[in-house]
Amino acid sequence: MFVIVTYDVNAKRTQKYRKLLIKYLGHEQFSVFFGDITKSQLDKLRREMNKLVVEGDRVLEFLVENRHNIDISLWSKTGHSTGLPSKEADDRHKRDSRIL
């Protein structure tokens, strides 16, 4: 299955989350991790995460049975433009050649 995990926690705790998540998933952006994972790996990750989460922490988990069944778009602006951000499909997660 394919999972995306993102967190919003106190700055002093981000390193703990990063250290845990990087063991199971690819590091995409500051607090965003994703990749293919087995059910048993996901269960283990969740058990470890349960020990880590404290009051005030927010963790989002997006779970898809197949990484080909999710569409991801990248929104960005270049320079100091004032118009709308550009939006492009980000399909790296659908290619088999990417190492997570």
- Between residues 61 and 89, the one the model is more confident about: 61
Confidence of residue 100 (pLDDT cuts 50, 70, 90): very low
- How many C-alpha atoms does 43 have within 13 Å on its Cβ side? 3
Reply yes or no on whether the pLDDT at 43 is more than 70.
yes
Contact yes or no for 85/77 (Cβ under 8 A): yes
Reply yes or no on whether the pLDDT at 40 is more than 90.
yes
Q: What is the pTM of this model?
A: 0.76
Q: Identify the pLDDT of residue 84.
A: 77
Beta carbons within 8 Å of 98's beta carbon, 6+ residues apart: 92
Q: In the chain, what are the domains?
A: 2-71 (3.30.70.240)
Q: Identify the pLDDT of residue 54.
A: 94
What tokens were used for 100? 């997570």
